[in-house]
Structure 1
Amino acid sequence: LCLAQLSDKYGRKPILFASLVIQVLFGVLAGVAPEYFTYTFARLMVGATTSGVFLVAYVVAMEMVGPDKRLYAGIFVMMFFSVGFMLTAVFAYFVHDWRWLQIALTLPGLIFMFYYWIIPESARWLLSKGRKDCAIANMQKAARFNKVEISDEALSELLDEGENSEEKAKQKLEDQELDEGPPPSVWDLFCYPNLRRKTLLIFLDWLVTSGVYYGLSWNTNNLGGNVLLNFVISGAVEIPAYIFLLLTLNRWGRRSILCGCLVMAGLSLLATVIIPERMHTLMIACAMLGKLAITASYGTVYIFSAEQFPTVVRNVALGAASMVARISGMMAPFLNFLATIWKPLPLLICGSLSLAAGLLSLLLPETHNKPMLETIADGERFGKKTKGDVYLETGQELRAAEAQPLKGSGETNGSTIANGH
């Protein structure tokens, strides 16, 4: 969470590579640790820097592209996560000693140090900090790499158009004297009713998705057969899940896919409860179908969350969601111990939670084809009910209508827009 906050303050790139260096150093230390305390501390640091590596890289990928390409940027990042998941079993097949396995899994991180000279700073973050010249310079580098010619004047004019709504929102914040307070932080997500409601729903989705995902991943021992093979299959089913998202997320929307996948995961896992133990293959098939569905929901919740949170707190908000997810992730191994009481019990719990979270996801506003939110004011207005019970699902001004104030006073019946889903 701290690393996510730092990346919102000091930039995505420096925190990404600082986290990568720390992760590699302490990953190696965990492999050579002489006693338990050193090993535990090293593993703690490796886990803590995960949000500084994966989440920041994910946010950079999302902020580099426009609305129509956000899907591809997010899903391809998640696909590489699945490839790494499967490679863990490959490493374990060839490296049997846990110390060497820890080191072998850590050292590939050194390769990504060379990305420092490839990955630029996020243009959106630079613009949010008023560093327009740096953003233009980075985009010119990208244009030259893609053999596209565009003048600084054209880029500046394009950025000016995109800043109009942001400047209006900032002016409203100044009018309400919000600018005299501290800079935006994760706590702002809980200061306003609509933003708080959406944040809690997103946190619930992360909590359930992570718990079910890791619960199924660590439950491969209870499925019988070859443990490493089950682990690889558990990772392999994630690839079709992401292909499914590539084909459907931009057509059916984020909310319906998230709800459908969580409900499908819940029903598949609940089905394992009524399958007789002798039907071993069918039980594994249902469990893998549940893993496929929960993976699709994992890929969706990343994109959905990044589009729900405004730029000024996007990274720290995703970091907070990831922190909440780690709670259920930590409980997943203990959840599997319930199989000693009744073998289907872990899958019953996972299925019930998935079903409930999927239905509650319908309370979130759709973000498909909507502009990225920039300010806290945008985040509060997005998906907020008007007096006509219609959702405002845009981060920009609607015609000439007066936007609703954050404090809920002086509301007007401005133009309305139907649900974009």
Structure 2
Amino acid sequence: MALELEEAFGAAGEFGGGQRRLTAFLVLLQVYVACQSMLIVLVGAAPEYHIDQEEVPVSRAELAKHVHFASNFTSIVTEWYLIEQEAYKVGLASSLFFAGLLIGNITFGPLSDKLGRKPVYISGSLTNLTFAVGIAVYALLGYCVREWRYLALVSNTPGIIFFLLSFMLPESPRWLYSQGKTAEAEHVLQYIALGNGKERLNLKLKPSAGTLRKDESTPGILNLVKHPVLRWRTVILMYIWYVCSFVYYGLTLNAGELRGNLYLNVALYGLVEVPAFPLCMFFIEKSWSGRRRTMTSFLVFAGFACILALFLPTNAGLLFSPTLLALCGKMMVSAAFNIVYIYTSELYPTVLRNAGLGVCSMSCRFGGILAPFVPSMKSLGPFVPFVVFGISGLSAGFLTLLLPETLNKPIAESIEDLQIPKYQVLRNKKVNQSEENT
């Protein structure tokens, strides 16, 4: 007997041993991704130094004769003397990494819908929590490996292993089924069943409708601009995503600029995100807070934490230090970053959800591109980076108040649903249900 896709999943095993092994593989991948994102913090770390003459030499050769570094680790800064007028190159290297993420987002996002999830490596949900732990792991690696070339080698080598192991990942059966590739979807479901310790099953799926017919069309990305409601919603969301990325990566990369132990600072900037995830999950489901108020609160608190760092002396104790406020700001913006994915998906109608998330994700990458340059603004003043992050967080938080609440509200299926008040949508559904019952 032919089965529906959900029935076939039930027979193969919804989340058995096979899926858990694949999930563990993808979760471990996040540790590698975190090391890549944080690579420049230690590889490009600038230790304290002094120049034994009043005028700063212009040429690098002369600078090498007169500069003395005070730390026991090496970096591209100590090897190539990327200080003074050459310091911008460290931020540029990090910025180019995030520019690569932007290109990947533009290229591989649409490609995943055409070629499938496995070829472009989006066949699972990777947790932000593991990413945070990955930052702490990278700090431990940096503490053990002080020579920057070896550190880069150790951090990058797992990428080869993950690439080779990625061939064991099966394609998404849901994607295969949606594309009309029923036989291939059946084969993957058999693979899942065997991985879950089940005997070989005779799984037969019902024929799939496949892709849209030629006379059918899906609303395009231009609809985000054409409709006034979606236009303003998209502009605000793009800015919020940009700020979340800008402040998140800016504070993370700023870990190398703070006083105290460099490796401990980097580890704390990762581990401080761990409580952020349960915090945001708790508040967004409460009727008195919801998505909008929780998002606003976290962004505003992150902004205030950065601003308050201006008024604390750098030699204060741990409980009243700028470092502690920066850590609090990082936790708050990390929680906001987690919420924005859920909130954004609920603000767009189903037919435009992928387009909306794609546009917001691209604006997020621009925040990452600019973030590495902010720590270098300390040359204008020691707390200038915190002012920039603080104003960004506050502005994004207050702009969130212009968006509607989505908790316990029906999600629009089409663009037309956005023109109907939420209570009317609910009333229509109740009327339809009562008519069906009678």
Q: Which range, TM-score by smaller chain?
A: 0.5 to 0.7
**Partner of 1:186: helix, strand, or coil?**
coil
Shift of 1:289: 0.7
Asked if 1:263 is matched to 2:300, the reply is: yes
User: Is the Cα–Cα contact under 8 Å of residues 280 and 336 in structure 2 kept in the other structure?
Assistant: no
Give unpaired runs (5+ residues) of structure 2.
Answer: 1-25, 37-42, 44-88, 118-123, 433-438
2:327 to 267, 288, 293: 288
2:312 to 253, 257, 275: 275
- Counterpart residue number, 2:429: 398
Between Structure 1 and Structure 2, which shows a larger proportion of helix residues? Answer: 1
Shift of 1:312: 5.8
Distance of 1:119 and 1:323 partners within structure 2:
28
User: Is the Cα–Cα contact under 8 Å of residues 299 and 336 in structure 2 kept in the other structure?
Assistant: yes
Distance of 2:409 and 2:184 partners within structure 1:
26
- Counterpart residue number, 1:102: 152
Distance of 2:426 and 2:140 partners within structure 1:
45
**Partner of 2:250: helix, strand, or coil?**
helix
- Counterpart residue number, 2:168: 117
Deviates more, 1:144-153 or 1:337-346: 144-153
Can you list the C-alpha shifts for 1:219-255, whole angstroms capped at 9, x where unaligned? 2233211122111101110111112234333345333
2:342 to 298, 303, 309: 303
Asked if 1:208 is matched to 2:243, the reply is: yes
* Counterpart mapping for 1:230-269 below 5 A: 230-251=265-286, 252-269=289-306
**Partner of 2:315: helix, strand, or coil?**
coil
Shift of 1:132: 6.8
Distance of 1:255 and 1:128 partners within structure 2:
33
Task: Tell me: CA distance 1:346–1:247, structure 2 relative to 1, closer, same or farther (3 Å).
Answer: same
Can you list the C-alpha shifts for 1:308-331, whole angstroms capped at 9, x where unaligned? 445666555434323212222222
* Counterpart mapping for 1:15-414 below 5 A: 47-48=101-102, 51=105, 77-113=127-163, 114-121=165-172, 123=174, 125=175, 129=179, 179=217, 184-251=219-286, 252-279=289-316, 281=318, 282=320, 283-309=322-348, 314-315=353-354, 317-368=356-407, 378=413, 380-381=415-416, 384=418, 386=420, 398-399=429-430
Distance of 2:240 and 2:247 partners within structure 1:
11
Can you list the C-alpha shifts for 1:287-307, whole angstroms capped at 9, x where unaligned? 111110001011111232344
**Partner of 2:381: helix, strand, or coil?**
coil
User: Is the Cα–Cα contact under 8 Å of residues 105 and 361 in structure 2 kept in the other structure?
Assistant: yes
Give unpaired runs (5+ residues) of structure 1.
Answer: 1-16, 64-72, 164-169, 402-421
Task: Tell me: CA distance 1:184–1:389, structure 2 relative to 1, closer, same or farther (3 Å).
Answer: closer
Shift of 1:204: 0.9
Shift of 1:364: 2.7
User: Is the Cα–Cα contact under 8 Å of residues 98 and 369 in structure 2 kept in the other structure?
Assistant: no
- Counterpart residue number, 2:21: none
Number of equivalences: 336
**Partner of 1:363: helix, strand, or coil?**
coil
Shift of 1:50: 5.2
Shift of 1:284: 1.6
Task: Tell me: CA distance 1:44–1:209, structure 2 relative to 1, closer, same or farther (3 Å).
Answer: closer
Distance of 1:147 and 1:391 partners within structure 2:
49
Shift of 1:210: 0.8
Deviates more, 1:273-282 or 1:256-265: 273-282
What one-letter code is carried by the residue in structure 2 that aligns with 1:245? Answer: C
Shift of 1:43: 5.3
CA-based RMSD: 4.9
Higher radius of gyration, 1 or 2: 2
